Structure 1
């Protein structure tokens, strides 16, 4: 690599949290001739945009995994992009976490100026991104799903591409025996497609997992579904997956196999050799696999430089392999740093991590922040992190006597989040001292404050539960139930 990459014309793919703040930071903190963003849906917001299905529409849909009534787990301070504070939710002091609508409104307001300037193109699906020979840029093929576009395909070459499509397109399914049959019969539903508990009233349900989605689904089903609602877990939840104890929810060990009964219902045989019969539906909260399937790069191991999907470099079988491969600092593609990713890793505070990482990218691409000059040097970050994570997984397994959590992996920043963000900020501030007070601080104090969100969330869940119970009691007294 003879000289640092400095693209002039940049395309940002994805109009969610990561894409919007990346667009802002490239436009306002970089020195580029042209920066634009494409989003395949008809509004910005990513997972925070819950669009309503219109059966008359002829274009494809890419629905959010969000669901009506969703309330976040992050306080407004950690949802604020630099220079754009998140409004205090208009709810109550007892429930300080923004709702789905409040979060989408914030993102829509943040994006408004760029929509007005024509820098954001909605209804624009990226079909294919191809790396050109000799570092000559990226050919991006898109499909126009606007009313006038009618699915028309076009292509354009860009010097640089930033992929901000996140994690929620490709659900992971457990390899439990019998699961494929349940999927085929429509009896197993991934959390991505959960849209509320109403249709499962009186049904017997089993939920796989105890992360945020699984816990929410269990809590929603408990008042309506047949009790108990079963939740199959391998280990206690990480403490930031906060949920209230509920006598109507029964935790059970992992499922060994599923079988269909003659009446079309499900039997789950558990690993302790007990069984649960007459199950109507299985919900799966086993997470997602990052998979920008539209991206084709020059094969670094081929003498001809043939094109291959980027994700063919990894397998989804092992937790350590579920990652966007060959990234320096989780951002720059080692074999061609004119390709970047924002949001390639899971974190506790994705809004602020996306802000600092895309600011770092803007300065790296203007050559104000230095980065290694060869693929081998750029790949060292990935190699070191794999070794470190494997070491930490081994320590956890030894201390707990159980297999390390699937969330304790390469693609989850976890306890390294503050150190990672602080390192990026140090390099940013060295190049642009005026940004010191704009970007958040990352420190032990900030870690303590972030961790204090979990008891606050627990208290807010208790308050919400009390409010719901009062509404039900009042309805009973008034004869409405």
Structure 2
């Protein structure tokens, strides 16, 4: 990507400061893109990322479980990606040659550290430092109080704290009693299968975590009762799939919505996701922790429903801010997160440098249009249903969104604009392989089981990205012409690993 031929003058006194909260995948992407800008290169912008932990990586950095509160990451020992890494990677850095097509979590952790090193991000990251509170000054700047008790002021704020820290619990009669007696926990604390949970375990939730944990514990010899909303009764070996749970009884009985009862359940793992939370933003004048009202009209205040943040222009910028100097990255789900985060970061620095580029009227129309479309698709204008669906992209919507962000942020096409020129268009092969992710993952698991996976990736990637694309094409062709991928641990992993 070429930078426009613009000379900027910057001094330490006149430079604007950018605070990034978090050094996980979103914070690293934001920092990398900032360093690409002519504003940073001239000294006009000075970024710093605050990371509460002692290393970068966010959700991909393992965390010990404690009784004091939710762990920093819900990463369990066996987790692997369910996206092929050529699709999953940042556009600015591929995974190393010969990497497993669906790598385990520790490989992704190493990849994020390599990203940090390659783009010299470490000097701009302050580890072991959490952001305690953020307030807005009368002049619109951000007053940031750190865990060190220092207070720093910034011109811009980029929120990249991730959303896998605050467990979401269902409203389920009996759950509180089971948890109080150590017979239930959220999947955030799960790390590996063990008979400490007993021989008959109930798992609630059909996201990637619920599916992975059910399969893993069943292979360990535990009888699994897997509760999936809207699912009928189905027995598959050690796994008994059932519908929604309506009550947990103290005697180990579990009552389901169809009236069936399972007896002798020894433990319950709740894999029902996480809440969007910003504990460092307590001021309701910045964001209100409540469900927003139905629209129209679009509210001027910003709301966090714990399912979505609303209203945001481009799912990033608070619509009601006349001076858009805050951005929320990584709120979208069912997307390929890493490359999308770089695209969101490009849009962020473009708006910070050129506030007039954000057309609030057009953004309001886009929000109204999405609200109307979702209401029609859901058959309801219930704000809670819309909140659930708001940041959830379907089919190729995420790829259109990425293309639009790069087009919007392309400084080379906008006269008088200072910023990064050029854009990245999502290629057709990436869309094709994303659509085929389940088939590809089944086939890869088959290759690992038969011991030939290493041979398939031998020397692949040493000659460039085209070798990975050719490999994925060969895998897909082979998988579609055989039955080798019919049974595997990942048979129903239909979401990307943006949601654990």
TM-score tier (shorter): 0.7 to 0.9
Point out the more displaced range, 36-45 or 284-293. Answer: 284-293
1:180 is aligned to 176
Q: Is the 8 A contact 2:184 2:268 kept in 1?
A: yes
Q: Which residue of 2 aligns with 1:50?
A: 62
Partner of 1:79: 88
Tell me the distance in 1 between the aligned counterparts of 2:327 and 2:195: 42
How far residue 35 of structure 1 moved from its aligned partner, in angstroms, is: 0.6
Q: Match for 1:21 among 29, 44, 48?
A: 29
Q: Is 1:293 matched with 2:279?
A: yes
Q: Residue 419 of structure 1 aligns with which residue?
A: 400
Change (3 A) 1:218 1:313: closer
Q: Does 1:278 align with 2:264?
A: yes
Asked whether the 8 Å contact 1:177–1:256 carries over to 2, the reply is yes
- Are 2:421 and 1:460 equivalent residues in the alignment? no
> What secondary structure is seen at the aligned counterpart in 1 of 2:343?
helix
After superposition, the Cα gap between the structure-2 partners of 1:128 and 1:379, relative to the gap in structure 1 and judged at 3 Å, is farther
Distance 1:138 1:223 in 2: 51
Deviation at 1:184, TM superposition (A): 2.4
Alpha-carbon shift at residue 235 of structure 1 (Å): 3.6
Q: CA deviation at 1:207?
A: 0.8
Partner of 2:471: none
Give, in whole Å, the separation in 2 of the partners of 1:125 and 1:30. Answer: 29
Secondary structure of the residue that 2:410 maps to in structure 1?
helix
Shift of 1:331: 0.8
Match of 1:311 in 2: 289
| Alpha-carbon distance between aligned partners in 2 of 1:369 and 1:255, rounded to the nearest angstrom | 51
Query: In structure 2, how many angstroms separate the alpha carbons of the residues matched to 1:407 and 1:267?
Result: 33
1:472 is aligned to none
Please state whether the residue corresponding to 1:423 is helix, strand or coil.
Answer: helix
Q: How does 1:227-306 map to 2 (within 5 A)?
A: 227=223, 229-235=224-230, 246-261=236-251, 266-297=252-283, 299=285
Tell me: CA distance 1:52–1:272, structure 2 relative to 1, closer, same or farther (3 Å): closer
Q: Distance in 2 between matches of 1:407 and 1:132?
A: 30
Q: What is aligned with 1:120?
A: 125
Aligned equivalents of 2:398, 2:354: Cα separation in 1: 25
Given the alignment of the two structures, is residue 133 of structure 1 paired with residue 138 of structure 2, yes or no? yes
Distance 1:405 1:232, change over 3 A: farther
Give 1:268 deviation, angstroms. Answer: 0.6
Measure how far apart 1:206 and its partner are. Answer: 0.8
Q: CA shift at 1:118, angstroms?
A: 2.2
Task: Tell me which of 206, 209, 221 is aligned to 1:213.
Answer: 209
> Per-residue deviation at 1:346?
1.3
The residue that corresponds to 2:51 in the other structure is: 39
Taking the aligned partners of 1:320 and 1:334, their CA distance within structure 2 comes to 16
Change (3 A) 1:141 1:199: farther
Root mean square deviation of aligned Cα: 3.3
Q: Which runs of 5+ in 1 are unaligned?
A: 1-5, 144-151, 238-244, 300-307, 396-403, 468-481
Please state if 1:11 is matched with 2:11.
Answer: no
Query: What are the superposed Cα offsets for residues 7-55 of structure 1, whole Å, 9 maximum, x if unpaired?
Result: 9211010111111011110121351420110010111001100145799
TM-superposed CA distance for 1:296, in Å, is 4.0
State the secondary structure of the residue aligned to 1:133: coil
Query: Pairwise mapping of residues 383-462 of structure 1 onto structure 2 (< 5 A)?
Result: 383-394=368-379, 409-415=389-395, 416-429=397-410, 431=412, 439=424, 441-442=425-426, 446-462=430-446
Deviation at 1:285, TM superposition (A): 1.5
How far apart in 1 are the matches of 2:103 and 2:113? 15
Q: Structure 1 stretch 250-259 or stretch 60-69: which is displaced more?
A: 60-69
Q: Distance in 1 between matches of 2:70 and 2:164?
A: 14
Distance in 2, matches of 1:222 and 1:100, equals 21
Please give the alpha-carbon distance, in whole angstroms, between the structure 1 residues aligned to 2:349 and 2:308.
Answer: 23
Alpha-carbon spacing, 1:190–1:309, altered in 2? closer, same or farther (3 Å): same
Match of 1:66 in 2: 75
Residues 443, 383 of structure 1: alpha-carbon distance in 2 compared, 3 angstrom cutoff: farther
Alignment CA distance shift 1:11-1:113 (3 Å): farther
Aligned to 1:102: 107
The Cα shift of 1:189 comes to 1.6
TM-score, normalised on structure 2?
0.74
* Distance (whole Å) between structure 1 residues aligned to residue 255 and residue 289 of structure 2: 34
1:363–1:310 distance in 2 versus 1, CA, 3 Å: same
Q: 1:63 to 1:293 in 2, by over 3 A?
A: closer
Displacement, 1:448? 2.5
**Aligned positions, number:** 413
Gap change, CA 1:413 and 1:455, over 3 Å in 2: same
Match in the other structure for 2:10: none
Counterpart CA distance in 2 for 1:338 and 1:134 is 12
Q: Deviations over 1:411-454 (max 9, x none)?
A: 21223212211211222336469978763x23666433311122
TM-score normalized with structure 1 length? 0.77
Write the distance in 2 (CA, Å) between the matches of 1:116 and 1:408.
34
Mapped to 1, the partners of 2:312 and 2:385 lie a distance apart of 23
